[in-house]
Amino acid sequence: MLTVRDLHVDYAGVVALRGVDLRVGAGELVALVGANGAGKSTLLAAVSGLHRPVRGTVTFLDEDVSGLPAYRIARRGAVLVPEGRRLFGHQTVVQNLLLGGYHRTAAEREAELARVYELFPVLAERSGQRAGTLSGGEQQMVALGRALMSRPKLLMLDEPSLGISPKFTKMIFEVLAEIRRAGTTMLLVEQNLRAALELADRAYVLQTGEVVMSGPADELAASDEVRRSYLGL
Ligand SMILES: Nc1ncnc2c1ncn2[C@@H]1O[C@H](COP(=O)(O)OP(=O)(O)OP(=O)(O)O)[C@@H](O)[C@H]1O
Ligand SMILES: [Mg+2]
């Protein structure tokens, strides 16, 4: 579904990604892990069209999307839930959710909204509340729900558990498992390495802009090197 080849991205001359190769197959949940500053967010931004690579290609659904504007990549079905959520704090929960389905018919929006409320019943209860007054965990649910409103083919998540209580993190990971069962392909960036490797089919480890390890998530979770370097075991 997604193939990233030899991707190089820099910020005004500072190299953030150097020669990254990564693949996500249809129906897979792939985790992208690595220390702070490794380039995880940069990779998601480049795939989403928010950063233009200096070299390399991004192929999504058999089409080269490198250099396309972000909204066109999103329309094709590759949707990012950014770090920090980026909600409209003064708008209500339902208004934020509906924004995610703006290009769909009213009937489709209603159907998706019902599904989002099924996945996150608390959002149905709080549909009229301003998003900015929700807890961090609830805001993350709105951000995820908003992305789901567009029925993404590839859902990319940047640190969905960041700054969120363990209770909400557990709920969000349960919903990710549910979304995966329903057939959505996912690329997950996550600090909580253990939780990410438990959920993922495969994983890539990024270090200072390069992929240093990749493989089935259970093998990486069992690898001494990963345990020592990243799990602190
Ligand atoms: N807007 C920017 N301008 C300049 N440098 C940037 C910018 N954004 C990121 N960088 C640099 O690019 C590198 C990769 O950053 P990136 O945010 O992709 O890492 P990350 O793996 O997502 O880290 P974190 O775990 O902290 O979110 C870092 O060295 C960072 O300092
Ligand atoms: Mg990041």
C-alpha 16 – ligand 1 centre gap (Å): 7
The CATH number covering residue 165 comes to: 3.40.50.300
Residue 201 lies in domain: 1-77+152-233
145 and 161 both lie in a single domain: no
Q: Which two tokens stand for residue 168?
A: 């909400």
54 and 97 both lie in a single domain: no
Which pLDDT band, with edges at 50, 70 and 90, does 133 fall under? very high
158 and 146 both lie in a single domain: no
52 and 67 both lie in a single domain: yes
C-alpha 184 – ligand 1 centre gap (Å): 27
Lowest mean pLDDT, pick from 9-13, 55-59, 145-149, 191-195? 191-195
pTM tops 0.85: yes
70 and 166 both lie in a single domain: yes
C-alpha 41 – ligand 2 centre gap (Å): 4
How many domains does the chain fold into? 2
Question: What average pLDDT does the segment 65-91 reach?
Answer: 92
Which distant-in-sequence residues (6+ apart) come within 8 Å of 34 by Cβ? 40, 205, 206, 207, 230
Q: How do residues 28-46 score in pLDDT, each as one tens digit?
A: 999 999 888 999 999 999 9
71 and 159 both lie in a single domain: yes
Q: So what's the pLDDT on residue 231? A: 62
Q: Which two tokens stand for residue 117?
A: 């409320």
Examine the pLDDT at 10 and tell me if it is beyond 90. Answer: yes
Q: How do residues 172-196 score in pLDDT, each as one tens digit?
A: 999 999 999 999 999 999 988 888 9
Average pLDDT, the chain: 92
Pick from 151, 177, 198: which residue ends a domain? 151
Question: What average pLDDT does the segment 195-223 reach?
Answer: 92
- Nearest residue by C-alpha to atom 16 in ligand 1: 39
62 and 170 both lie in a single domain: yes
Pick from 105, 128, 151: which residue ends a domain? 151
Q: Among 13, 62, 56, which Cα is nearest to 210's?
A: 56
